[in-house]
């Protein structure tokens, strides 16, 4: 890539990080309001709410936002602090692969729990 045409990766990451933070924040506030307004929920009411289509979609979107947010943050840490060539490059790629595997496992596990598949 030429210097006269810089990459937009940083801007895209910045916007994605902020957007996912807003989604996570909305979910946390939403759950806090549910607890505040329905402090005496029993298991049946709790399960009924969390198996509603609205809750399933909002929870799934939040899990996806957590994964994207985490990937951008961990990728940034890896590229900022594991520098150099040779062994450092291999270490950084291993770090990123490990983070990718952990986040994919988290995504599959979380969505399986949310949708009642696990």
pLDDT mean by block of 10 residues, the chain; 118 residues: 60 95 97 90 90 95 98 94 90 96 98 93
Closest CA to 92 of 82, 84, 80, 100: 82
Q: DSSP alpha helices (H): ranges in the chain? A: 9-37, 43-50, 53-81, 87-114
pTM score, two decimals?
A: 0.87
Domain 9-114 carries which CATH code? Answer: 1.20.1300.10
Rounded to a whole number, what is the distance in angstroms from the first to the last CA of the chain?
45
% of the chain at pLDDT higher than 70: 94
Delimit the domains of the chain by residue range.
Answer: 9-114
Tokens of 118: 């696990």
The DSSP output letter for 52 is S
Token readout for 1 is 């890539």
């Amino acid at each position: 890539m030429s210097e006269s045409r810089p990459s937009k990766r940083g801007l895209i990451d910045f916007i994605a990080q902020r957007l996912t933070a807003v989604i996570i924040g909305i979910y946390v506030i939403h759950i806090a309001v549910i607890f505040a307004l329905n402090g005496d929920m029993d298991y049946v009411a709790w399960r009924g709410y969390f198996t509603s289509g609205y809750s399933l979609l909002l929870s799934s979107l939040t899990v996806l936002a957590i994964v994207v947010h985490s990937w951008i943050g961990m990728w940034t840490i890896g590229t900022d602090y594991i520098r150099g060539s040779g062994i450092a490059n291999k270490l950084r790629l291993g770090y990123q692969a490990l983070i990718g595997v952990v986040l994919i496992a988290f995504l599959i596990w979380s969505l399986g729990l949310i949708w009642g598949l696990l």
